[in-house]
Structure 1
Amino acid sequence: MRGASTRLFLLAELASRGEAHGHELRREAALGRAEMWSEVGIGSIYSTLRRMAEEGLLRVVRSEREGAMPERTVYALTAEGRKELSVLRAAMLREVVVGTDPFDLALACSADVPVQELRDVVTDRLSTLRVRISELEHLRISAGPHLDERDHLLFEHLLIRLRADIDWHEGLFAVFERKRNND
């Protein structure tokens, strides 16, 4: 999924911009916090651009160098790239993904872990989730003037998912509390 997300992001950015070099696209992904609400692989942007150019989805417009900066390859979308953008976007708009959390497997394998230790882990996770929500709310407020309606919706979706995770962890904590009180 990560590879498809990176491809979709790059194709959409190039469709919007007309042309850009990898550094601009990587910067946009980082500034837009694409990793918060998607599986865009910021570290794989350059290799994905090269691969899509080899596949005929992008064309190299030119190479440019400013001052002592490294040479940068400027890409633009091809007609095939526009088709690929439409296909990827349509597929991802319809796909429903429920992510997995390594915690779930570890919890399923924790029959021999003392209840107090599990309570402590859940307490730490709750704290981390609450901090994450606070950070996102602060980021949304500070970035507010630069966000469009879709950005606000994406923030809200992520916050709702984190709040649901908090609810689930609080329920788990209550189970451990009852178990501890019965022991």
Structure 2
Amino acid sequence: MSGRRGNLTALAVLSVAASKPMHPYEMGQAIRGWGKDRDMKVKWGSLYSVVAALEKRGLLEATGTDREGNRPERTVYRITAEGRTELADWTRELLATVDGDHTRFRAGLSVAVVLPPDEVVEILRGRLRALETGLASDEGELHRVRGTVPRMFLIEDEYALATARAEVKWIYALIAELATGTFPDLEQWRAFHESGGLDGGTASAWAAAEPHAEEHANERSGDPA
């Protein structure tokens, strides 16, 4: 995994910047308003430095300044083509990687709309194969040591197996919904990509959530930046 992809604050920034140009404070409001900080760990104190780092890497670019009332001017940034590619590749990585860190999988799910649904299905099928292989191995090992190791020393392994089984069951159900067309808003999801891919689709997807952003932000007080 790329070291540059270890900071999920950058993923959160790219995901909201994909909807429209924003200044960093607005990005923070969008991240919090759209609940992205529940889906991934956001380090609020480093938000501005993350934006600067993304600009340096060519994933964001300044488009001008914005002023609200008597507030100082703020630089507005938009996501670049390279930023959209990074966002999509990062999402693929998070959805596919089985490493025991469920928070990263949740982060990938939270931005999965940046990929076409058929691609998400294929990625999840690959994840299932990896999960089932690991599950079979772990179940075999637990069965082997039972009877020789007191159960009080095995309950964490039982928990890990139960969690893995639950994830496998949930992913099977999600794939079935996507593959059979019973997933709500699936056609809208497809249309996002057919009408413009990440440029048109992602903007529309996040714009649809915007009416709720201020409501959620007000419920969770504090300066997001």
TM-score between the two structures when normalised by the length of structure 1:
0.48
Which is bigger in relative contact order (C-alpha 8 A, separation at least 6)?
Answer: 2
Larger radius of gyration: 1
